[in-house]
Amino acid sequence: MSAEFELEHGLYLLHFEPAYRHARHYLGYADVIGRRVREHFAVPSKASPLVQAAIGAGCAVTLARVWPGLGRVDERRLKRRGGHASLCPLCIAADLVPASRRATVASGRPSRARRR
């Protein structure tokens, strides 16, 4: 992870492979992205129950994307919106996202991080 994420607040997206039950992603907010992501992978873990369960079930958990600078309002908006696969570069690369939904990645928010 690049050093710039170490100190910044923002959102991050964890990708589970294979999916854990119905969940393939965990979207979270952190005051310090790098520290929070390390907590998810630490033993013993301070991760969310969902991430712990996915790791316990043998899923590979990957940090798929970060949005530095976004806040809790953005987190709630994205969680309400759902369809985290359309935000996930790993799912898009693996062809898990229908072409009709991919446009939302290129044109929709959140893209603040990319425009910097």
> Between the CA atoms of 83, 90, 48 and 31, what dihedral angle is there, to the nearest 10 degrees?
-90
Q: How far is the CB of 71 from Zn ion (least distance, A)?
A: 22
Return the range that interacts with Zn ion (CB under 5 A); candidates 26-34, 35-43, 87-95, 106-114.
87-95
Q: Is 95 helix (H, G, I), strand (E, B) or coil?
A: coil
Kindly tell me which residue out of 11, 30, 90, 97 binds Zn ion, with binding defined by CB under 5 A: 90
Task: Choose the binding region for Zn ion from 1-9, 10-18, 45-53, 71-79 (rule: CB under 5 A).
Answer: 10-18
Q: Taking CB under 5 A as the rule, does residue 65 contact Zn ion?
A: no
By CB under 5 A, residue 97 contacts Zn ion = no
Could you tell me which stretch among 11-19, 53-61, 70-78, 99-107 binds Zn ion (CB under 5 A)?
A: 11-19
Task: Check binding of 14 to Zn ion (CB under 5 A).
Answer: no
DSSP codes joined into one string, 22-73: TEEEEEEEESSHHHHHHHHHSSS----HHHHHHHHTT-EEEEEEEEET--HH
Residue choice 5, 8, 12, 15 for contact with Zn ion (CB under 5 A): 15
Q: Are 64 and 11 in contact (CB under 8 A)?
A: no
> What are the distances in angstroms from CA 7 to CA 45, 72, 90?
21, 17, 25
Q: Which stretches of the chain bind Zn ion, using CB under 5 A?
A: 15, 88, 90-91
